[in-house]
Amino acid sequence: MKKFMNAVDTVLTESLDGFVAAHADILALGDEHKFVRRRTLRPGKVALISGGGSGHEPLHAGFVGHGMLDAACPGQVFTSPTPDQMLAATQAVDSGAGCLFIVKNYEGDVMNFDMAAEMSDGVLRVVTNDDVAVENSSYTTGRRGVAGTLVVEKIVGAAAEHGLALPVLKALGERVNAATRSMGVALTSGTVPAAGKPTFDIGDGEMEFGVGIHGEPGRRRDTLKSADAIAEEICASILGDLGDKAKGPALLFVNGFGGTPLMELYLMYNSARRILEKRGVTIVRSLVGSYVTSLDMAGCSITLTMLDDEMTGWWDAPVHTAALRWGM
C-alpha cells in the first residue's frame, strides 16, 4: 500500500483536520469529528444533511457550503456513519425549518440515517439510486446511489437556499433522482487503508464494467475497450433505462474515481457528448472532474440528468463549497 499517511487509525481524522483548516472561511468541524458543517448558518432555512462512508472525497463534505449542504457526516472509509453523527449534525444545523437527509442507497447508510431521523423531529429524507449497472449489490438492495447524488445535492441545495419548504425540497430531490442515471467502469482497484491491499484483483488488460464506488462488482469483467466503445455502452444503458424521458436538455457529468487524470476524463466527456447528442439529447450543462471517488481507483462514471427549466435554474444558482463553486 502506497499512501500518504501516518497511521491507519488516523487517516480519516487527520484528513478531516486538514480539510477544515484549509477551508476555515466556510467550514467548521463538529466535536469528535462527527460532522463537517457550514461555519455560518442561515436561520429559517431547511437544513440539508448528507454523509456516508469516507473514501469518496470530495463527496460529501466538499459540498458543504452556500447553495448545497449544511452538514456532512463522514463514516470510516467505506463504512456508514453512525446515527449519533447524524443526530449531532441535525442538532447543530437545524434552525427550526426542518432537515432533509440526502442518503445514497446502501443498506447501512439508509438504516443509520433512518434511526437518526426517528430520534429527531421534522426530518425527511431523499434516497438516491442512480446507478443503472445492477439491481442489488454487495451493500445494496435495489440500485446503488452514486455520482448522481452530487446533482441532487446541488439542485436541492439551491432550492433550500432560496427558502423552499421541507416537503417541496423532498419532492424536488426525488424528481432529480428520478431524472438521473449513472454507470461506471474501473481500470484498477482502490486500496482501503485498513485493508492494506487492493479491494479486488484486475488484470493488465481488463476493466470492471458497471463497477460500484466501493469497488463492488458490476455487470462483467471485460477486456479494456476504447473510450468510444465504453462511452457507447454506458450511454446506451443510461438511455435505455430512461426510455421516453431520454430527449431534450440534459446535464452530462463525467466523474473520475480518484486515480484517473483530467485529460482522460475530458476525452471520455467528448466521446459521451457526441454519442448522446446523436440520440436526441442536448447537453446544456456539463461537469467534468473527480467528485465522487473511490479512493485511488482508476476509472470513471458517466451521469446524465434530464433537465427541466426549474432544475436548470437551481443548477446554475450560486454555490460556494470546497469542491464546487460558481456564481459567487
Q: Does 33 bind a second copy (CB under 8 A)?
A: no
Q: Does 325 bind a second copy (CB under 8 A)?
A: yes
Give the per-residue SS3 of 48-91: EEEEEEECCCCCCHHHEEECCECEEEEEEECCCCCHHHHHHHHH
DSSP bridge pairs for 72? 36, 50
201 near a second copy, judged by CB under 8 A: no
- Residue type, position 108, single letter: G
Q: Which is nearer to a second copy, 170 or 273 (CB)?
A: 273
Taking the least distance from each CB to a second copy, the nearer of 25 and 309 is 25
Ranges within 209-248 binding a second copy (CB under 8 A): 224, 226-228, 230
Catalytic residue among 23, 60, 66, 214: 214
Minimum CB separation of residue 31 from a second copy in Å reads 18
Q: What is the smallest separation between the CB atom of 188 and a second copy, expressed in angstroms?
A: 7
For a second copy, which residue of 82, 120, 270, 312 counts as binding (CB under 8 A)?
270
Nearest to 136 by CA among 112, 101, 105: 105
Residue with Cβ nearer a second copy (43 or 205): 205
Chain length of the chain: 328
CB of 62 to a second copy, least distance (A): 7
| Binding to a second copy in span 36-55, by CB under 8 A | 54-55
Half-sphere exposure in the Cβ direction for 305 (13 Å, CA)? 33
Q: With binding defined as CB under 8 A, does residue 19 bind a second copy?
A: yes
User: What value, to the nearest 5°, has the Cα angle with vertex 63 and ends 295 and 268?
Assistant: 55
If binding is defined by CB under 8 A, does position 317 make contact with a second copy?
no
Rounded to whole angstroms, the Cα distance separating 77 from 195 reads: 10
Q: Which of 23, 33, 56, 66 is catalytic?
A: 56
Structure-block grid coordinates of residue 201: 484483483
| Annotated catalytic residue 56 | yes
CA angle 12, 94, 171 (to 5 degrees): 95
- Does position 268 interact with a second copy (CB under 8 A)? The reply is yes
| Residue with smaller CB distance to a second copy, 7 or 278 | 7
Q: Please give the grid coordinates belonging to residue 17.
A: 483536520
Amino acid residing at 218: G
Nearer to a second copy, 19 or 101 (CB): 19
Binding mask 168-187 for a second copy (x = CB under 8 A): -------------------x
Comparing CB distances to a second copy, the nearer of 50 and 188 is 188
Residue 110 beta carbon to a second copy: minimum distance, rounded to whole angstroms:
24
Helical spans, DSSP H, in the chain: 11-22, 83-93, 107-118, 148-161, 166-178, 227-242, 262-278, 309-316
- Least Cα distance to 173 among 95, 279, 101, 84 occurs for 101
Judged by CB under 8 A, does residue 196 bind a second copy?
no
Helix locations, 126-261, DSSP H? 148-161, 166-178, 227-242
Residues making contact with a second copy (CB under 8 A): 2-7, 11-12, 14-19, 21-23, 54-55, 57-58, 62, 187-188, 204-205, 207, 224, 226-228, 230, 258-271, 273, 283, 286-288, 290, 293, 295-296, 298, 300, 320, 325-328
Task: Give the residue numbers annotated as catalytic, written as ranges.
Answer: 56, 214
